[in-house]
Amino acid sequence: MARFDETAVTCRLFIAMIVACVLLFAIGWMTYEVSDDRPLLDVLGGELTIDHTSSEIHYDLLVKQIRHLRHGAIIEVSFEDPAGNGYYVVRKRVQRWRKRYNLRSPPVCGVRARKRYLVMLRVLNDNGKDELWSDILHVTTHLGEDIMPEPPVTTWPGRDLSPH
């Protein structure tokens, strides 16, 4: 009957564990993705929307966090004014529990159909001085301001008063 050698089995088990650890480390090293290559935010949607209830046009931009942002960092969006008076700047602070942010401009006027409007997206640090990341995109609409409905003259229960 063969004798059971505890030291040989222990040594082989130890070597097998070392080989498994080295193999897993090599796999982890090869599949590691450097986070600096990815952007901080991903734009899920951006458009000019028409609110028929109040007869207003707004920019709407929906962004999602890809990399972690510090609590209190600032997401800043500059929307081009279709009337040619510069930019509308909208800022939102990053919160720990939120991953998606909807940024909406004040009402705009002078929108023309099939014209590209510039939107600049930036991420600033807590005090708003240093830029951490930036991106530029364009928004196009197929509808112009000429198809805007007239604001309703009357109101009814459950409807906000007309701003006009």
Residue 99: domain span: 40-147
Note whether 88 and 120 are within 8 A (CB). Answer: no
Q: What is the pLDDT of residues 51-90, one digit of tens each?
A: 877 788 999 999 999 988 999 999 999 999 998 889 999 9
State mean pLDDT over 108-120.
93
pLDDT band at 160 (very low <50, low <70, confident <90, very high): low
Q: 63: which 2 tokens? A: 């962004």
In a domain, 73, yes or no: yes
Pairing relationship of beta strands 131-140 and 41-51 according to DSSP bridges? unpaired
CA 148, CA 138: separation in Å to the nearest integer? 22
pLDDT at 38 over 70: yes
DSSP 96: T
pLDDT band at 137 (very low <50, low <70, confident <90, very high): very high
Output the average pLDDT for the chain: 87
pLDDT given at position 95: 94
pLDDT given at position 56: 86
In a domain, 32, yes or no: no
pLDDT at 37 over 80: no
Question: What pTM does this model have?
Answer: 0.71
In a domain, 157, yes or no: no
In a domain, 55, yes or no: yes
In a domain, 95, yes or no: yes
Element (H, E) at 12: helix 6-31
pLDDT given at position 63: 96
Element (H, E) at 76: strand 74-80
State mean pLDDT over 20-39.
87
In a domain, 7, yes or no: no
In a domain, 126, yes or no: yes
Count: domains in the chain: 1
In a domain, 26, yes or no: no
CA 26, CA 46: separation in Å to the nearest integer? 41
Q: 14: which 2 tokens? A: 């130890």
CA 110, CA 161: separation in Å to the nearest integer? 24
CATH code of residue 140: 2.60.40.10
